[in-house]
Chains A and B, each alone.
Chain A
Amino acid sequence: MDATPRELSYSQAIQEAMALAMEADERVFLMGEDIGVYGGAFQVTGDLVERFGADRVMDTPISELGGAGVAVGAAMTGTRPIFEFQFSDFATLAMEQIVNQAAKMRFMLGGEVSVPVVMRFPAGSGTGAAAQHSQSLEAWLGHVPGLKVIQPATPYDAKGMLLAAVADPDPVMIFEHKLLYKMKGPVPEGHYTVPIGKAEIRREGRDLSIVATSIMVHKSLEAAELLAAEGIDIEVVDLRTIRPMDRATIIASVKKTSRLLCVYEAVKTLGIGAEVSATIAESEAFDYLDAPIVRLGGAETPIPYNPELEKATVPQVPDIVAAARDLVRGKR
């Protein structure tokens, strides 16, 4: 076997997955704003239009509600669209089609149809794009039965989970943190899938479980390395899918470590951290807890433009280090 595995960036991994899906299945096509010659706002579709043509890499007008609805209708009737939102914030314009139509169609029609649509949402802060282009709205969609909502954190998962999403018979919403697009990692060639609904232990440890999503997985791993030098042994669980949530993996981890810290970028209240915490509170792992559960999430504010304020809005490595240390040292 080859000693050094091939590395791709997160965005290249997504692009490769889309290309493989289109090569393998005539029914797969891409829709979105400026995904053709422009290559997508974040260059994720890149030059795919040259390989597959404008018929399969379709530029839409600036019409999120209509565009998403067209994708839903196409998916219901035999095709497999992958719809790119230019920013996840614009999901707000398409909420009707996502929440009332895509999510409920199969149910309302008594299982007579399915809606195998994939929607991709570039998300998160850190680019100086301010309040309307930096949000993390995954928990909004995670609240809706009928949708599956995933947040791959690595190039490997980005490719494998996208291919799983395309193969999935139901609507899958993919939230991609914009700051991950340039991150490189090993990505095998060819087709493979990473299951939707399965969390992944990124680092094993005994003293504390950090359950994190997306870019916070990487920040948590960094924090864990720093704390290892202080003799604190942290387990990092990458949630990967927020609906359906892999509760078994979270429960098993907390039973092992007896402490839980949730780390996510979205606004702290009424979010993923609440769901993960409640999962423990409602399970047998509750009796194993040696400390209160702690959540680190986004501040209770829209994302500000000023770069220092912007950084202060979401958890950073020192925040995770401090919270984890306090938890393990019993200062909570």
Chain B
Amino acid sequence: MATARKLVDDTQTNLPFAYRQYSAAQLKEVLRKMYLIRRFEEGAEDSYTRGLIHGTMHLSIGQEASALGICMPLTTSDQITSTHRGHGHCIAKGADVKRMFAEFFGKTTGYCKGRGGSMHIADVSMGNLGANGIVAGGIPIAVGAALSAKRMKTGKVVVSFFGDGANNEGAFHEALNMASIWKLPVIFVCENNGYGMSTSTARSTAVKNIADRAAAYSMPGVIVNGNIFSEIAEASHAAVERARAGEGPTLIDSKTYRYRGHSKSDRNRYRTKEEIEDWISNRDPIALFEGELKDFGVIDDRGIDAIRESVRVEIEEGIEYAKASPSPELGDLERFVYTEQA
């Protein structure tokens, strides 16, 4: 996805960024991935309800544009760290849904060989260093990866995804400070869905915008509408450019919303049905993006149907693959704890 080809020439500057920056094929692929994330999570949710998946999971339905927009300027060798709400990041970074489902089903063919599950989903081959069960746990790790990139002159940039709740952990503050003093190629992406579990940012956070935190660490703090793909992609391009040029980190505050409960044990007592309904019907990132694509003549209804159908098939095949895959052997219980040496 990294190499950009322009859909229209630069004189049409009234078009939003994405439609100046990307080809029609690239934009269609973005739409496909948005659907892939949503249907993947619906498929996972359904499998959970049927008792095929155990534990718990955190769904990012409603936040798909943010994962995709941020990953647009990244190459496969660039890296990310992700969160407990990390399925979308994983897919956006290039993972195969077959192996993600296999992980959720606890199978050896899963990305973590059945040891990690939803909360630790990763795809190291595509630069995803992993979801994380610890709020803010991935932020310093991303800074460490960026330190490697700088020391080893690999030219890589690193993105750290985290939620609004994470901005109140010490790890967030310590990590941003170090990234700034060492001018590391890292981008801090707060997927600000307004709540950390039941606690709204208004109740948990002393500043109005997470982006306001950037000032304390001398880096740009950018606010974007996290449900508008083009806005996010534009902010990500600018931050990646800055990082690659050796100018240091950026903090992006991507305002979005999660439709589902925090996890599988949420009574949704802390927000109203009207609020949820308003986001779903008026600000859905897929609906907004589809509308734009149609307005700008990138795709028609038949094209959209074809995408939905191909995603449906891919999800169905993914679940079948997971079901048919083998479970780990009990004898392997203590494997992977240490590096196996010859």
A residues at B contact (CB < 8 Å): 33-34, 36-39, 41, 43, 59, 61-66, 89-90, 93, 127-133, 299-302, 304-309, 312-313
Q: Which residues of A contact B337 (CB under 8 A)?
A: 300-302
Q: List 19 A-B contacts (CB under 8 A).
A: A33-B196, A38-B197, A38-B269, A61-B168, A62-B165, A62-B166, A62-B199, A64-B169, A93-B169, A128-B54, A130-B116, A131-B133, A132-B134, A299-B333, A302-B337, A305-B115, A309-B115, A309-B333, A313-B333
**B218 at interface by CB-CB < 8 Å:** no
Return B303 CB to nearest CB of chain A, in Å. 38
CA distance A37 to B205 in the complex (A): 18
Given contact pairs A65-B170, A132-B133, A38 touches B333 in the complex (Cβ within 8 A): no
- Quick check: B198 and A62 within 8 Å, CB to CB? no
Contact between A63 and B56, CB atoms less than 8 A apart: no
Partner of B270, one of A37, A41, A130: A37
Alpha-carbon gap, A113 to B197, bound state (A):
36
**Distance in Å from the Cβ of A11 to the closest Cβ of chain B?**
13
Q: How far is the CA of A132 from the CA of B112 in the complex (A)?
A: 14
Closest Cβ of chain B: how far from A90's Cβ, in Å? 7
Closest 4 pairs (CB-CB, A-B) = A128-B55, A305-B117, A132-B133, A306-B106
Instruction: Report chain A residues within 8 Å CB of B132.
Output: 132
Instruction: State which of A37, A41, A299, A306 has its C-beta within 8 Å of the C-beta of B265.
Output: A41
Q: Provided the pairs A128-B54, A306-B115, A307-B54 are in contact, do residues A59 and B203 lie with their beta carbons within 8 angstroms?
A: yes
Contacts of B285 in A (CB 8 A): none
Chain B residues contacting A63 (CB-CB under 8 Å) are 168-170
- Could you tell me the distance between the alpha carbons of A159 and B196 in the complex, rounded to whole angstroms? 30
Contact with A along B281-318 (1 / 0, CB 8 A): 00000000000000000000000000000000000000
Complex: chain B residue closest to A59, CB-CB = B199
- Per-residue A-contact encoding for B205-234, CB less than 8 Å = 1, 0 else: 100000000000000000000000000000
Is B328 part of the contact surface with A, judged by Cβ < 8 Å?
A: yes
In the complex, are the beta carbons of B204 and A129 less than 8 A apart? no
> Residue on A with the closest CB to B163?
A62
Residues of A within 8 A of B107 (CB): 306
The range of chain B's interface size is 35 or more
Contact assessment for B112 and A90 in the assembled complex, using a CB-CB cutoff below 8 Å: no
Neighbouring A residues of B170 by C-beta, 8 Å = 63, 65-66, 93
- Residue numbers in B under 8 Å from A305 (CB-CB): 55, 103, 106, 112, 114-117, 120
Q: How far is the CB of B227 from chain A (nearest CB, A)?
A: 24
A37 & B198 in contact (Cβ 8 Å cutoff): yes
Query: Is B267 interfacial (CB-CB < 8 Å)?
Result: yes
**Chain A residues within 8 Å of B115, by CB:** 130-131, 304-306, 309
Contact (Cβ within 8 A) B267 A39: yes
Give the dominant DSSP class at A's interface: loop
Contact status A33-B197, CB under 8 Å: yes
CB within 8 A of B55: which of A38, A62, A127, A308?
Answer: A127
A304 and B333 contact, CB distance less than 8 A: yes
CB contacts (< 8 Å) of A308 on chain B: these are 106, 327-328, 330
Q: In the complex, what's the smallest C-beta–C-beta distance from A94 to chain B, in angstroms?
A: 10
CB B186 to nearest CB in A, in angstroms, measures 21
B31 at the interface (CB under 8 A from A): no
**Which of B103, B106, B267, B330 counts the most A-chain CB atoms under 10 A from its CB?**
B106
Judge if B175 is at the interface, Cβ distance under 8 Å.
no
Residues of B within 8 A of A90 (CB): 134
Please give me the residue from chain A that is nearest to B337 by CB atom.
Answer: A301
Say yes or no: B199 contacts A33, CB within 8 Å. Answer: yes
- B171 nearest CB neighbor, chain A only: A93
Contacts of B330 in A (CB 8 A): 308-309, 312
List which B80-121 residues lie within 8 A (CB) of chain A: 103, 106-107, 112, 114-117, 119-120
B334 within 8 Å of A by Cβ?
yes
Enumerate chain B residues within 8 angstroms of A93, measured Cβ to Cβ: 134, 169-170
CB-CB < 8 A to A59: which residues of B? 198-199, 203-204
Known contacts: A37-B198, A66-B170, A130-B120. The answer to whether A61 contacts B134 by CB under 8 A is no
Residue with the highest number of chain B CB atoms closer than 10 Å, among A38, A65, A133, A307 = A38
B145, CB-defined interface residue at 8 Å:
no
Residue of chain B at shortest CB distance from A302:
B337
Q: Among A62, A127, A133, point to the contact of B196 (Cβ < 8 A).
A: A62
Is B159 interfacial (CB-CB < 8 Å)? no
Q: Is the CB of B168 within 8 A of A38?
A: no
User: In the assembled complex, how far is the CB of residue B71 from the closest CB belonging to chain A, in whole angstroms?
Assistant: 25
A309–B197 Cα gap in the complex (Å)?
A: 29
In the complex, chain B residues 267-281 whose Cβ is within 8 Å of any chain A Cβ: 267, 269-270
Residues of B within 8 A of A301 (CB): 333-334, 337
CB nearest neighbor in A for B117 = A305
Question: How far does the alpha carbon of A235 sit from the alpha carbon of B267 in the complex, in Å?
Answer: 43
Q: Is the C-beta of B143 less than 8 angstroms from some C-beta in chain A?
A: no
Contacts of A302 in B (CB 8 A): 337
> In the complex, which residues of chain A have a beta carbon less than 8 angstroms from the beta carbon of B327?
306, 308
In the assembled complex, B72 has its CB within 8 A of some CB on chain A? no
- Residues of chain B with a CB closer than 8 A to A132's CB: 119-120, 132-134, 137
Q: Is the CB of B334 within 8 A of A299?
A: yes
B135 within 8 A of A: yes
Chain B, Cβ-Cβ closest to A54: B203
